């Protein structure tokens, strides 16, 4: 992050600049674009920043970002790789809905690990929101089906799913089943969305994760977590470029307020 400052302060040459950009998750084609702008405007860091920002803002002008508006009768499925920050995001998400005067409820569809439910319950107790949980090893779809019926009084239903690798066919099929079950309840909701959580440290490998999940379910938004701890923030340029899935939120810490709606220009300000 803030790579231009490093390039100017340390007076990096082209090779060193390239290395720095790659370490930040910037893929070669964007690194080339950035380096060409640095070469054209060697004198002033602020000017270079403006030129690069302008170029990227123009390039991504058609893309959709953020666009989140809390509303009643909505359901969110939170899916993603192991440890990508699903459950923590749900804590932050509950907080956000409550701040907007809505009363969310949670379904714990991760029935594989008791610890996963404990972790989620920590948040539901903290915010005093209802949680529906199944028994150990119960079919997550069945848990969700029952949970939705129990939560008719709640404005928002948030579903925590177990971590899964995108190339695990059984677990991905299970996710598809979850998605199908929920579509049977669609008359109860005005909005049903599936968010994919990504760990910012995953960098460009996130492309494969997105592709893997997309093979099985429709993804309505990306949540990029752990941007506070990451050295690969630049990979988001590629994710935005290659997919038509809006990046909706960024998680930037473990605290319940460490969540912001994604804004592309702010992102560029932090990255460059
Ligand atoms: N620094 C930082 N840590 C985070 C962030 N989000 C989550 N974490 C941490 O990352 C670890 C994994 O987060 P979880 O929320 O448990 O991830 P998960 O996707 O639910 O994990 P599984 O259910 O095991 O697949 C925890 O130690 C969190 O505290 C973030 O935005 N920044
Ligand atoms: Mg979890």
How confident is the model over 256-269, as pLDDT tens digits?
A: 999 999 999 999 99
Is residue 230 within 6 Å of ligand 1 at its C-beta? no
- Give the single-character DSSP code of 201: G
Q: What is the pTM of this model?
A: 0.96
Is there an atom of ligand 1 within 6 Å of 85 CB?
Answer: yes
pLDDT band per the 50, 70, 90 thresholds, residue 114: confident
Residue 106 DSSP SS3: strand
CA 159 / ligand 1 centre spacing (Å): 16
Domain spans of the chain, in order of start: 3-59, 74-271
Q: Whose CA is nearest to atom 1 of ligand 1?
A: 253
Class of domain 74-271: alpha beta
Question: How many helices and strands in the chain, by DSSP H and E?
Answer: 11, 8
What lies within 8 Å, CB to CB, of 115 at 6+ separation is none
Span 125-167, pLDDT tens digits? 999 999 999 888 899 999 999 999 999 999 999 999 999 999 9
- Quick: pLDDT tens for 26-77: 999 999 999 999 988 767 899 999 999 999 999 999 998 878 999 999 999 9
């Amino acid at each position: 992050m803030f790579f231009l400052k490093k390039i100017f302060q340390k007076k990096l040459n082209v090779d060193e600049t390239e290395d720095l950009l790659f370490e930040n998750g910037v893929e070669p084609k964007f690194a080339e674009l950035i380096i060409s702008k640095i070469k054209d405007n060697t004198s002033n860091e602020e000017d270079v920043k403006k030129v690069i920002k302008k170029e990227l803002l123009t390039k991504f002008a058609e893309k959709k970002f953020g666009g989140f508006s809390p509303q009643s009768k909505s359901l969110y499925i939170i899916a993603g790789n192991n440890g990508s920050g699903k459950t923590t995001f749900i804590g932050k998400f509950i907080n956000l809905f409550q701040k907007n005067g809505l009363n969310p409820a949670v379904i714990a569809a991760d029935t594989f690990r008791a610890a996963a439910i404990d972790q989620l319950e920590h948040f539901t107790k903290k915010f005093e929101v209802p949680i529906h949980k199944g028994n150990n090893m119960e079919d997550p779809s069945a848990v969700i089906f029952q949970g939705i019926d129990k939560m008719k009084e709640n404005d928002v239903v948030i579903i925590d799913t177990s971590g899964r690798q995108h190339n695990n066919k059984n677990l991905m099929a299970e996710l598809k089943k979850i998605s199908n079950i929920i579509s049977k309840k669609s008359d109860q909701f005005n909005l049903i969305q599936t968010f994919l959580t990504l760990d910012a440290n995953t960098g460009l490998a996130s492309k494969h994760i997105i592709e893997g999940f997309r093979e099985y379910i429709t993804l309505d938004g990306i949540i990029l977590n752990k941007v506070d701890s990451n050295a690969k923030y630049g990979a988001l340029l590629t994710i935005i470029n290659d997919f038509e899935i809006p990046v909706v939120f960024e998680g930037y810490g473990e605290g319940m307020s460490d969540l912001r709606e994604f804004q592309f220009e702010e992102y560029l300000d932090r990255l460059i």
